[in-house]
Amino acid sequence: MVIVAHPDDADFGPAATAARWIDAGSVGRLVCCTSGDQGGEDPTLDPLELAAVREAEQRRAAGVVGYDDVRFLHQPDGALANGLPLRELLVREIREFRPDAVLTHDPEVLFYRGGGVNHTDHRAAGIAAVDAVYPAARNPMAFPNLVRAGLAPHRVRRIYLFWPGAPTAWVEVGPTLDRKIEALRCHPSQFSADEGFAERMRAWAAEDGSAIGARSAEAFRLVVLDDDDDQAPPTA
């Protein structure tokens, strides 16, 4: 399950990894917390019309990657907040889909290594996803209304944080990098994906690939969750 702030984040993020795992037999689902209704430069644009355009773009891109479905939580773009309402929406998605792994934004990155500020919605979506995974989704006493509605607690086993400050895991994406680029071309409201764009994406993947001696990769910070009831603090 990929959880992101905006339409197109997942395609700039872990799309090639998702496509590889889906090709290998995994079932993937995409959750977009917002519909990107502030993602434009024209103040006369109707935000709801823009949201509809961006949802359609994301659905087309999701078809390229191979997700089984895209869920939009319709939270406000530019104002995403990690709190109980968003956590409940995410716990609902996690308990319904029951993923082994959740891929989401690294919430600890405020400034990117290469420069630039990590959007407030990215940080909010990342920390909300982490808080939904642990402990809420697995705790039967958290959101008992969802349990009563038939959504039993669920233990996610791994969290993969993309665009990481300090990567610890890499997925080689040679076979699916072109699908990622094709998925990105499904977002014409956001950028024009010219030839130079594809080269930039390949160069970006090559940079991550160089860490593991591969031609192209996507980098993550991997968090492995124990099967024990609670995460034991370090003993030393």
Q: List residues binding Zn ion (CB under 5 A).
A: 5-6, 9
Q: Which residues pair with 162 in a beta bridge?
A: 105, 220
Minimum distance, C-beta of residue 228 to Zn ion, in the bound complex (Å): 35
Minimum distance, C-beta of residue 200 to Zn ion, in the bound complex (Å): 17
Q: Is the dihedral of CA 146, 151, 157, 160 positive or negative?
A: negative
Minimum distance, C-beta of residue 9 to Zn ion, in the bound complex (Å): 4
Minimum distance, C-beta of residue 99 to Zn ion, in the bound complex (Å): 21
3-state SS of the chain is: CEEECCCCHHHHCCHHHHHHHHHCCCCCEEEEEECCCCCCCCCCCCHHHHHHHHHHHHHHHHHHHCCCEEEEEEECCCCCCCCHHHHHHHHHHHHHHCCCEEEEECCCCCECCCCCECCHHHHHHHHHHHHHHCCHHHCCCCCHHHHHCCCCCCCCCEEEEECCCCCCEEEECHHHHHHHHHHHCCCCCCCCCCHHHHHHHHHHHHHHHHHHCCCCEEEEEEEECCCCCCCCCCCC
* Interatomic CA distance for residues 212 and 209, integer angstroms: 6
Closer of 146 and 219 to Zn ion (Cβ): 219
Closer of 74 and 157 to Zn ion (Cβ): 74
Peptide bond into 135 cis (omega under 30): yes
User: Shortest Cβ contact with Zn ion: which residue?
Assistant: 6
Closer of 29 and 54 to Zn ion (Cβ): 54
Closer of 37 and 172 to Zn ion (Cβ): 37
Closer of 6 and 123 to Zn ion (Cβ): 6
Closer of 9 and 55 to Zn ion (Cβ): 9
Minimum distance, C-beta of residue 111 to Zn ion, in the bound complex (Å): 16
Minimum distance, C-beta of residue 210 to Zn ion, in the bound complex (Å): 25
